[in-house]
Structure 1
Amino acid sequence: MNVITSAPRPALLPRRVVLAAALGGLVGSPFLAGCGRDPITSDMVRANVDRNRPDAMPTAATVDSLTRFGAEISSQAQAGSHNNFLCSPLSLWLALAMTRNGAAGRTAAEMDKALRFGDLAGLNQGLNTTSQLLAERSGKQQTSSRTGKVALRIANQLFGDQTFSKDPNAWRRPFLAAVARYYGTGMALADFQHKPADAQRRINDWVADQTNDKITKLLPDGMITGDTRLVLVNALYLAAPWLEKFAAAGRRPFHRHDSVVPADMMRISMDSGTAKTMLGTVVRIPYLGNQLAMTVMLPAPGREAAVRDRLVRELPGMLGQLAPAQVILTMPKFSYRTTIDVKLVLRSRGMELAFSDSADFSLMSPQPLKITDIAHQCTIGVDEEGTEASAATAVVLDASSGSSARPIEITLDRPFWYVIHDLATKVPLFVGYLADPTAS
């Protein structure tokens, strides 16, 4: 279908659109129930197209770009900091890829470069395949000694202003077709113009429901106003226990950047994968079902900054094949929440036009729009049972080692990087840095 363009309307028209993505849930507990109600009951604006079937695997180019983007944004956001860090490259990509389908011209080109997006059709189908394949990881899992349930699902939802959307030309049809075909969603109508607080509460409730109440306030007070015209939300829910349960190991010293704190530790002896490089030691901790894993990188003493600066080079290797080994691993339990200024990072990567009055989102709507803010919030908790992790992103638019017969002992008693990822596709769900297991 051809895109019908129109000249910008006069000034004083609303120019605000909010796009939001949330990723969250629980990884670790074998007793989790699924998400509850779906509060979307209003009329929908949706393209009458079926969602594309997934390919056998996402392309190597898609996974490589996503992994490199995750490493780059993590390295940039963590630069100069000695605090805990966590982000979700997949959540960010899903939110911003939906946004990219409405961008044109130089705005689109800057987004592609800053976000490492490739060809738009390939990007869309790659994320469509990734989302649907990850959903297949769900189900009951059992070993000779452990039974549990893995739940992994991804939901996308658009919320459009009901008054604005009454105009049949408010939203470009190819844009609606793209989000339906590749992201499986349509647009629920909300009263942004007259009841912005109620609309914001409704969106936050939807996110909380999709993330098992791990993200309860994705949109902060005041983000939704009477000028808001669109909110795009992505939610990913993940629940899985470890393949083998850890045992409590009592309190032991953890060496922070500038001090030592007592940390609650846990310990396990397991068949796993490991590697040792000049920069540090890598070890993999599988989740039940052996389809998902947490892989950690413990920097060698004095090499912490080098690992961060070379994370783009190190991360793909962390997600690849590791040498099998018997590992005795001791690591801290931890739980914390972080917020990242994604807008600042993306601007430093050359994505400027999207945030300016010269932004071109004409493939989304005839009205002039620009991004005004991007918020990304993550939470994680790790204990003997598994990992509890969640993340949320809001995009706001205004109008290497060999195996050994002897067990390898690894103790994570100082800051380390970790990534939660899918083993078959090598897609990174979370990238994090633990600086202090006692900080929340």
Structure 2
Amino acid sequence: MRELGERWFRLLGDGEDEDFVCSPAGLWLALGAVAAGARGGTAAELRALLGVSGEEAAGAVTGAARAIAGTDAVAVATRVWSRVPVYRAYREALPDVGFGQLDPDEIDAWVKEATGGQIEKLPVTIQDDTLLALVNALALKARWGTPFASHLTRLAPFTDAAGTVHQVPTMHRQLSRSEAWTVGTATVVELCCAAEPGSGAPARVRFVLGAPGAGPAEVLPAAWAPLHACGPLDADVVSLALPRLELRTTVDVTPQLPAFGVLRATSPDADFSGLSPEPLAISKVVQETVIKVAELGVEAAAVTVVLARPGGAPRPQRTVRLAFDRPFGVVVLDGSGEVPLFAAWQANAPAGEPIPGTAGQQGLLPPPWPPVPPPPGPARGFSPAPAPGGTRRSPSHPPSAPPSH
């Protein structure tokens, strides 16, 4: 997930004077769940991006989602809505993923509930040709372990990426030296959230201040730098001034996929044959993310959606020509399929009747039911044999008269 994040930051940070908020974890989980149904070259491309694909991706996605959900105050959920069949094996490989019929209103309601109302609806429109929607939701609502005193919040200068100075509401508090460190030219501050008794470990929120002019691709990865790359601040007291912030971004990831090396998944050559018997190709990957930081705590949510449309032409059916052109056997079984009523072995050239319909010949089977009533009197050129007891019986299916020439 961190490697995916670093690659994504380079794409999102092309315009370094633009704000953004994103969820690398949400994107990885959504693409990973789709990758669980990928095969062939499509799976290879997704594996190069995510580290997993195909059948192994299902276990990795399940394990990662459960680990994330173990963080206190974090909720994670994934669901698939579909207009096409989804293989049982795919569903069973992702036991924590829900499945249902494609219904845009139902999806919007699920998004709102899964994010605690932070995101109101799906950030993309379901089209008529949309066959499947896979949606991941991540949400966090947590209080700071040590809140900011609201009476200390006041206007302070903030210089934006273009060099313009603004006066913005800024929170203030003192930090312990263990809550701040350096990574190269960047400074990292960690604020821990409060955890409920008996719950998992609290979320750690890290703020990273880079050198002047540094962009997101350089600055953000310092938040997860290894311990050996971290150094102490040369100070006895750390006084923090942190602006309140609220960011919301909707990112269309689809045009970024080629930069990630994902080409087949969106093409007619896409192979998601481990997900559905219907040919599918990714049509859209979109993520909406929001984050709010204030005196009492932090809230964040992300919804990542992968839409699939019809893929290439259905694969040609595999045909096996089975010609009984050498000795073969025939067995007639009873209704249970266990008792051999008749058995035959054809070793020599078969001496069957000519093909039904050949001029002058009559097939073995009677005409379709119901039978045509016989004409009155004996058929021309046909005298039924006497039945036991001396009476004559008309055949139920007299043969047709010979064709006239």
Task: Report the equivalent of 1:24.
Answer: none
Code of the aligned partner of 2:171: M
Task: Specify whether residues 116 and 132 from structure 1 end up closer, same or farther in structure 2 by C-alpha distance, changes over 3 A only.
Answer: closer
Task: Specify whether residues 288 and 319 from structure 1 end up closer, same or farther in structure 2 by C-alpha distance, changes over 3 A only.
Answer: farther
Q: Offset of 1:252 from its aligned partner? A: 0.7
Q: Deviations over 1:149-169 (max 9, x none)?
A: xx22222222223xx4xxxxx
Task: Report the equivalent of 1:70.
Answer: 5
Q: Hey, what's the Cα distance between the residues in 2 that align with 1:308 and 1:331?
A: 21
Q: Deviations over 1:112-134 (max 9, x none)?
A: 22x23236555433432332233
Task: Report the equivalent of 2:25.
Answer: 90
Task: Report the equivalent of 1:275.
Answer: 181
Q: Which runs of 4+ in 1 moved over 6 A?
A: 318-321
Code of the aligned partner of 2:307: V
Q: Offset of 1:241 from its aligned partner? A: 0.5
1:275 aligned counterpart, secondary structure = strand
Match of 1:200 among 104, 107, 110: 104
1:205 aligned counterpart, secondary structure = helix
Q: Which stretch of the first structure deviates more once superposed, 209-218 or 230-239?
A: 230-239
2:304 aligned counterpart, secondary structure = strand
Does the 8 Å CA contact 2:281/2:309 hold for their aligned counterparts? yes
Q: Hey, what's the Cα distance between the residues in 2 that align with 1:122 and 1:292?
A: 28
Q: What is the aligned residue count?
A: 298
1:74 aligned counterpart, secondary structure = helix
What is the correspondence of 1:35-434 to structure 2 with a 5 Å cutoff? 66-113=1-48, 115-118=49-52, 120=54, 123-138=57-72, 151-161=73-83, 164=84, 170-180=85-95, 184-190=96-102, 199-220=103-124, 223-247=125-149, 248-258=152-162, 259-271=164-176, 272-289=178-195, 291-302=202-213, 304-305=214-215, 308-309=217-218, 314-317=222-225, 327-399=238-310
Task: Specify whether residues 351 and 219 from structure 1 end up closer, same or farther in structure 2 by C-alpha distance, changes over 3 A only.
Answer: same
Question: Equivalent pairs: percent with the same residue?
Answer: 31
Does the 8 Å CA contact 1:273/1:324 hold for their aligned counterparts? no
Q: Hey, what's the Cα distance between the residues in 2 that align with 1:106 and 1:89?
A: 24
Higher strand proportion (structure 1 or 2): 1
Q: Offset of 1:287 from its aligned partner? A: 1.0
Any stretches of 5+ residues in structure 1 without a counterpart? 1-65, 139-150, 165-169, 191-198, 400-440
Code of the aligned partner of 1:347: P
Q: Hey, what's the Cα distance between the residues in 1 that align with 2:26 and 2:82?
A: 20
Q: Hey, what's the Cα distance between the residues in 2 that align with 1:349 and 1:130?
A: 21
Q: Deviations over 1:222-259 (max 9, x none)?
A: x3234333222222222210110112330011000221
Q: Hey, what's the Cα distance between the residues in 1 that align with 2:141 and 2:227?
A: 20
Code of the aligned partner of 1:155: A
Q: Hey, what's the Cα distance between the residues in 2 that align with 1:175 and 1:374?
A: 20
- Structure-2-length-normalised TM-score: 0.68
2:94 aligned counterpart, secondary structure = helix
Task: Report the equivalent of 2:335.
Answer: none
Task: Specify whether residues 270 and 311 from structure 1 end up closer, same or farther in structure 2 by C-alpha distance, changes over 3 A only.
Answer: closer
Structure showing greater Rg: 2
Q: Hey, what's the Cα distance between the residues in 2 that align with 1:273 and 1:225?
A: 48
Does the 8 Å CA contact 1:200/1:219 hold for their aligned counterparts? no
Q: Hey, what's the Cα distance between the residues in 1 that align with 2:71 and 2:219?
A: 31
Task: Specify whether residues 123 and 279 from structure 1 end up closer, same or farther in structure 2 by C-alpha distance, changes over 3 A only.
Answer: farther
Code of the aligned partner of 1:273: E
Does the 8 Å CA contact 2:186/2:210 hold for their aligned counterparts? yes
Q: Deviations over 1:171-198 (max 9, x none)?
A: 2232122222xxx1231224xxxxxxxx
Code of the aligned partner of 2:141: A
Task: Specify whether residues 119 and 373 from structure 1 end up closer, same or farther in structure 2 by C-alpha distance, changes over 3 A only.
Answer: closer
1:85 aligned counterpart, secondary structure = coil
Does the 8 Å CA contact 2:36/2:90 hold for their aligned counterparts? yes
Q: Hey, what's the Cα distance between the residues in 2 that align with 1:318 and 1:274?
A: 15
Q: Hey, what's the Cα distance between the residues in 1 that align with 2:155 and 2:223?
A: 30
2:126 aligned counterpart, secondary structure = coil
2:92 aligned counterpart, secondary structure = helix
Q: Deviations over 1:293-344 (max 9, x none)?
A: 1112101224x13x624755x3531789966775321110011211223122
Does the 8 Å CA contact 1:273/1:322 hold for their aligned counterparts? no
Q: Hey, what's the Cα distance between the residues in 1 that align with 2:4 and 2:68?
A: 19
